[in-house]
């Protein structure tokens, strides 16, 4: 039996204002605080999809394109891109907006992975998703390759077993 759930059910948007306690001496949002906010919005997305307690399993490369400043409003958007057995990949985008100046820029993108667990902390099966839009389908298809890279980096998969990655490099 295959469980399916539309990705839009896992969309979560969160908005925060950058306050003085959130900034470094340059009045930029501290990176660790942003990572905390990203982890929270992504966890909520994974919980909404799985209807389970989730734990963070991995965080992919997070690069900072722009630094949100004191007083900026940041918007975080997250949604599950693909569900495997007990794990879910969540895509997060972050924007920083200076409302008085009327400017808004994307500051970050990242993929977080969560594992759904039962009340004893053991992994539990999650519903699959059915991507609908072209962007959702692209993220879904590419998720298997990202997963294989994560597993290899963690030492949980050997390169020879990364069949999805082989299809990229073995094209003739």
Distance (Å, whole) CA 42 – CA 110: 10
Query: What H or E segment, with its residue span, contains residue 46?
Result: helix 31-50
pLDDT in tens, 130-167: 998 999 999 999 998 888 878 777 776 566 665 666 56
3-state secondary structure of 3: coil
Please report the pLDDT score of residue 106 as a whole number.
Answer: 97
pLDDT in tens, 86-140: 999 999 999 999 999 999 999 999 999 999 999 999 999 999 999 989 999 999 9
With contact defined as beta carbons under 8 Å apart, do 38 and 94 qualify? yes
With contact defined as beta carbons under 8 Å apart, do 137 and 63 qualify? no
Confidence category of residue 2, pLDDT binned at 50, 70, 90: very low
How far apart, in Å, do the first and last CA atoms of the chain sit? 37
Please report the pLDDT score of residue 171 as a whole number.
Answer: 58
Write down the mean pLDDT value for the chain.
89
- pTM for this model (two decimals): 0.86
For range 41-51, the mean pLDDT: 97
């Amino acid at each position: 039996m295959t469980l399916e759930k539309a990705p839009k059910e896992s969309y979560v948007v969160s908005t925060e204002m950058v306050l003085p306690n959130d900034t470094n001496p340059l009045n930029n949002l501290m990176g660790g605080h942003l990572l905390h906010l990203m982890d929270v919005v992504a966890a909520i997305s994974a919980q909404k999809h799985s209807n389970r307690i989730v734990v963070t399993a991995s965080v992919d490369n997070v690069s900072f394109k722009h630094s949100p400043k004191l007083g900026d409003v940041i918007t975080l958007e997250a949604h599950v891109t693909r569900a495997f057995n007990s794990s879910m990949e969540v895509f997060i985008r972050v924007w920083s907006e200076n409302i008085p100046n009327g400017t808004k820029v994307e500051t970050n993108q990242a993929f977080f992975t969560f594992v759904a667990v039962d009340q004893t902390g053991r992994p539990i099966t999650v519903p699959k998703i059915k991507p609908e839009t072209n962007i959702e389908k692209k993220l879904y298809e590419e998720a298997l390759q990202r997963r294989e890279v994560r597993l290899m980096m963690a030492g949980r998969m050997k390169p020879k077993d990364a069949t999805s990655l082989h299809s990229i490099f073995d094209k003739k």
